[in-house]
């Protein structure tokens, strides 16, 4: 493991941080399980809404909902008319009393646009925001597009809790995704300079790289400044899910795990079992190295809002995690 100086642990935060328990967004910091619901395309809205109505009526053990900010043209190089994020979040609030938290791609808006956005978010009861930048330096964005740090300052000025997204394999020593700036350095900077206090991760299907990252964080940060981390899991039900996760989302899927899922009689059952095992390994390791147990949670997402089996599998997994973590 890369060694770090003791001065890293003692370095003060460079931006004011909202501490856990602050009345503005306690629901997210206290949540153990989040269900991430994706805004569907306009063409698929009726089908997706029917699936979600049924799912929300059957599953209740998770504590919060998150809604991603999908940038089809920017992230996936495709044109697709999608239900606007805020409209979808408002619709979800008609189905459930669970608090809704939003993602925002910083480069999708200018400074003036982001200054107006908190008013819309507050109308939804949202006070926590995951700030994201698409994982590419080659894309071109609108003039005046904001970087994550600038977006975080604006959000904090409006009393929003700020978080980000972790890619555990974005490490300088990971051959498939070599990084110019190691992911641990990114996290520490976002916490100390921008006031981030929570993160979700890229979809996980193995534990080793996340465990390495947690070990480095424990070596770099004091426990009282450690951000809350929601490990993201998404069950696969068919080969299409595997292909989309790997080729489009860049999910790291070890070869033995892929063989296991493809060869299973039920990919859904094998996937859910695999993900519960990944959580158990990461949680056990985190406890052994002294990572605060209350700072580790789960974020469950589905990949295809049109596929009832895919959505139901995600809700089932969220329910299982809700029951499991509720007993601790």
**Cα(83)–Cα(38) distance, rounded to whole angstroms?**
9
3-state secondary structure of 128: strand
Pick from 85-94, 105-114, 161-170, 202-211: least confident: 105-114
> Over 50: is that where the pLDDT of 328 sits?
no
Average pLDDT over residues 6-33: 54
47: Cα separation from own chain's centroid: 25
Average pLDDT over residues 231-256: 95
- Helix/strand number for the chain, H first, E second: 13, 8
Instruction: Return the biggest CA–CA distance within the chain.
Output: 55
Sign of CA dihedral 20, 26, 28, 31: positive
**Cα(300)–Cα(319) distance, rounded to whole angstroms?**
10
Q: Which CATH number fits domain 7-326: 3.20.20.220, 3.10.20.600, 3.60.21.10, 3.40.190.10?
A: 3.20.20.220
> Over 90: is that where the pLDDT of 285 sits?
yes
Q: How far is the CA of 78 from the CAs of 32, 41, 71, 74, 100, in angstroms?
A: 34, 12, 9, 8, 27
> Over 90: is that where the pLDDT of 313 sits?
yes
Residue 162's DSSP bridge partners are: 129
* Contact status, residue 131 vs residue 101, Cβ threshold 8 Å: no
76: Cα separation from own chain's centroid: 18
**Cα(309)–Cα(315) distance, rounded to whole angstroms?**
10
**Residue 178 pLDDT:** 65
> Over 80: is that where the pLDDT of 246 sits?
yes
Angle at 276 between CA 224 and CA 187, to 5 degrees: 30
What are the structural domain ranges in the chain? 7-326
Tens digits of residue pLDDT in 170-219: 888 776 666 678 899 999 999 999 999 999 999 999 999 999 999 999 99
25-39, 162-176, 264-278: range with highest mean pLDDT: 264-278
């Amino acid at each position: 493991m890369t060694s770090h100086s003791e001065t890293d642990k003692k370095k003060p935060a460079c931006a004011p941080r909202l501490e856990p328990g602050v009345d503005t967004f306690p629901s997210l910091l206290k949540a153990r399980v989040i269900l991430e619901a994706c805004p569907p395309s306009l063409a698929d809205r009726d089908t997706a809404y029917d699936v979600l109505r049924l799912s929300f009526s059957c599953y209740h053990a998770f504590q919060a909902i998150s809604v991603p900010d999908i940038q089809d043209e920017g992230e996936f190089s495709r044109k697709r008319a999608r239900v606007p994020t805020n409209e979808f979040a408002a619709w979800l609030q008609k189905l459930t009393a669970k608090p809704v938290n939003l993602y925002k791609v910083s480069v999708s808006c200018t400074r003036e646009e982001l200054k107006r956005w908190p008013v819309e978010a507050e109308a939804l009861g949202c006070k926590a925001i995951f700030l994201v930048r698409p994982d590419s330096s080659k894309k071109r964005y609108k003039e005046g597009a904001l970087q994550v740090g600038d977006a975080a300052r604006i959000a904090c000025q409006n009393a929003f809790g700020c978080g980000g997204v972790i890619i555990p394999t974005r490490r300088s020593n990971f051959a498939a995704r070599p990084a110019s700036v190691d992911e641990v350095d990114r996290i520490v900077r976002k916490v100390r300079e921008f006031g981030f206090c929570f993160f979700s991760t890229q979809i996980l299907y193995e534990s080793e790289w996340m465990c390495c990252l947690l070990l480095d964080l424990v070596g770099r940060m004091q426990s009282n400044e450690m951000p809350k981390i929601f490990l993201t899991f998404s069950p696969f039900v068919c080969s299409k899910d595997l292909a989309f996760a790997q080729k489009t989302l860049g999910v790291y899927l070890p070869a033995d795990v892929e063989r296991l899922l493809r060869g299973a009689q039920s990919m859904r059952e094998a996937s859910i079992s695999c993900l519960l095992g990944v959580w158990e390994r990461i949680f056990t390791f985190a406890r052994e190295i002294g990572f605060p147990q209350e700072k580790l949670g789960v974020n469950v997402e589905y990949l295809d809002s049109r596929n009832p089996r895919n959505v139901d599998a995600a809700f089932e997994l969220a329910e299982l995690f809700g029951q499991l973590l509720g007993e601790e």
